Amino acid sequence: MNYFRLLLFLVIVPYSNLFAQTYDGFSNKEIQSVFKQWNLDNWDDGGEISRYIFLNMPEFWTHAIINRKGNIKSLKKDFRKEIGEFVVTSELGQMKLQDYVKTSEKVDGLIILQGDHIVYEAYPRMFQNDRHLYWSVSKIFASTLIAILEDRKQLDVTKPIEHYLPELKGSGWENVPVKDILDMASGINCREWVNGAFENPETCYYQFEAALGLLKRTEKTADNAFEHIKTLSSAKPSGEVFEYTSVNTFVLSCLIERITGLSYADNIEGEIWRKIGAESDAFITQTNGTSVSHAGISSTLRDLARFGYMFLTDGRSDDNAFVSNNYFNKIQKQGRPQLITAYGSENYKLNNEKVSHNTYQWDKVMEDGDFFKAGFSGQGLYISPSRNLVIAFFGTADENGVSNELDDISRQISTSELFE
């Protein structure tokens, strides 16, 4: 390329695209290789096998379609060069955000909204219209549906779960208020974080995921996940300490189905997806008619951001609003800091900052009112209402299981001079 052509190239090519990494997708040979290698032991270990599966879940598991409807919510493109040039701190050192996104092999996509304006967007390892697995970011759809039922007086979260699901009477769930399940403080003895939870068939949590078809079944595996849930015992009284386990979310989805008489997927479609102005249908992984409510939603990144937008002031004022001021205030102001203190608040931080509390399946609510939900292998949704900001991202851990650091980086961006 001679100097004249280079100058012309610099003039006509947008700055944001000049340094973008080109993503070409997977070749047919690579796809065939994934299908030859994957199994229920390795599919979520990280690396390219996992990335392909996260981007194409319906090719591997049965699923329900969450249909979009109506006008697409317009997201105005208002890219800000200084955001890409903002210097972030990570284990890779200090570098510009755009360089981190390009350099880290663990980032698949990142979008930042200020209001309904896209101020930064990058897809280094996925296409814009790809539907990526949320993993545990899926959980806040369950809690949002619970909040909607509360607003309609169809549900009282202070009541014990067996009031609505009598099959749980006599189990470790008995006398556990719905509120404690929402806040990951049920005290149930099915720990997701113990050694071997995902590898050892003798653990309760392994058998939960095996019943959902995400891990290999054994002779001990229940016919379905609800049958397994009914057998669980209590490890400690509920309401004492935050102890993260996805069985809580599964119980919430069963509760939603019982109250509404509709499938979990239909609840998401009718109460949320058709109201956010989604540009695409979403998917939710299902096995034997049971939704993987704790981890199974897949959508485009922009549609996840549209969901996040509904928690901002304008989103809560929208004609299709489903996040009430009551629910919003519960997230920001009505959590129980003592649950995090009992867990060990010194080890539960965001960008090395103290977390105020967790609640309604949101992992981390900060002192300034920002709140965040993380997903396995590098997914996340960060909301800063006071800054009118939504940050959403997808990722895939590397082959050593190490994920991106966009959770901490989101906090760095939100609290920077960029959004003062």
Instruction: Say which CATH number the domain at 122 has.
Output: 3.40.710.10
Q: What is the DSSP string of 77-121?
A: E---HHHHT-EEEETTEEEEHHHHHHH-TTEEEEEEEETTEEEEE
200, part of any domain: no
- Is the predicted pLDDT of residue 2 greater than 80, yes or no? no
* Confidence band for 289, pLDDT divided at 50, 70 and 90: confident
DSSP tag of 312 = S
- Is the predicted pLDDT of residue 242 greater than 90, yes or no? yes
pLDDT of residue 8: 43
Report the domain count for the chain.
1
Q: CA-CA distance, 410 to 313, in Å (whole number)?
A: 20
CB 227 within 8 A of CB 171: no
pLDDT of residue 420: 86
323, part of any domain: yes
pLDDT of residue 346: 86
- Is the predicted pLDDT of residue 357 greater than 50, yes or no? yes
153, part of any domain: no
pTM for this prediction? 0.94
- Is the predicted pLDDT of residue 290 greater than 90, yes or no? yes
pLDDT of residue 21: 52
375, part of any domain: yes
The set of residues, in sequence order, having a beta carbon less than 8 Å from that of 342 and lying 6+ positions away, is 240, 241, 242
329, part of any domain: yes
The average confidence (pLDDT) of the chain is 95
123, part of any domain: yes
Q: CA-CA distance, 392 to 370, in Å (whole number)?
A: 14
* Confidence band for 19, pLDDT divided at 50, 70 and 90: very low
How many other β-carbons are positioned within 10 Å of the β-carbon of residue 71?
A: 7
Secondary structure (3-state) at 406: helix
- Is the predicted pLDDT of residue 5 greater than 50, yes or no? no
pLDDT of residue 22: 84
* Confidence band for 20, pLDDT divided at 50, 70 and 90: very low
* Confidence band for 13, pLDDT divided at 50, 70 and 90: very low
pLDDT of residue 339: 97
Distance, CA of 370 to chain centre = 16
Domain that holds residue 375: 50-148+252-419
pLDDT of residue 78: 97
Give the position of tokens 């071997």: 196
The set of residues, in sequence order, having a beta carbon less than 8 Å from that of 150 and lying 6+ positions away, is 156, 157, 326, 327
- pLDDT tens digits, one per residue of 147-202: 999 999 999 999 999 999 999 999 999 999 999 999 999 999 999 999 999 999 99
- Is the predicted pLDDT of residue 18 greater than 70, yes or no? no
Q: Average of pLDDT values for 63-79?
A: 97
- Is the predicted pLDDT of residue 1 greater than 60, yes or no? no
pLDDT of residue 345: 85
230, part of any domain: no
pLDDT of residue 11: 45
- pLDDT tens digits, one per residue of 28-58: 999 999 999 999 999 999 999 999 999 999 9
78, part of any domain: yes
pLDDT of residue 347: 83
- Is the predicted pLDDT of residue 120 greater than 90, yes or no? yes
- Is the predicted pLDDT of residue 97 greater than 80, yes or no? yes
pLDDT of residue 6: 43
| Percent of the chain clearing pLDDT 90 (strictly above) | 93
